[in-house]
Amino acid sequence: QKEVEQNSGPLSVPEGAIASLNCTYSDRGSQSFFWYRQYSGKSPELIMSIYSNGDKEDGRFTAQLNKASQYVSLLIRDSQPSDSATYLCALIPSGGYNKLIFGAGTRLAVHP
């Protein structure tokens, strides 16, 4: 089992819709979770971090964490064509320092 699993997509949503991106992980000791956005040919850009169970909202983005189910999700409301990118789920494994383990990413395509 991979440490961090994501559906590779592409996930295609119409402009203005809600995009829902999902991620599961295997290390129960993980405490820190992140969503990065990566445009083609560019570096990853941190968009959300979440550390405790529940929802965390920042503008159009909401991250959800369920440690019991080992599940992290990212919701993007009012999706825009500029949101089209690959979204990488990442975590810091139990061990205590900032060594990120990434999923393979989900490609999101928002069409006008």
In the stretch 84-103, what mask flags binding to another protein with x, by CB under 8 A? ----x-x-x---xxxxxxxx
In the stretch 37-56, what mask flags binding to another protein with x, by CB under 8 A? -----xxxxx--x-------
Q: Taking Cα atoms as reference points, which of 82, 71, 72, 78 lies closest to residue 109?
A: 82
The piece of 36-44, 52-60, 62-70, 73-81 that touches another protein (CB under 8 A) is 36-44
Interaction of residue 20 with another protein, rule CB under 8 A: no
Question: What's the CA gap between 63 and 50, in Å, rounded?
Answer: 7
Question: What's the CA gap between 56 and 51, in Å, rounded?
Answer: 9
Sorted by sequence, the CB contacts under 8 Å of residue 56 that are 6+ apart come out as: 48, 50, 62, 63, 64, 65
Interaction of residue 35 with another protein, rule CB under 8 A: no
Query: What residues make contact with another protein under the rule CB under 8 A?
Result: 4, 6, 42-46, 49, 88, 90, 92, 96-105
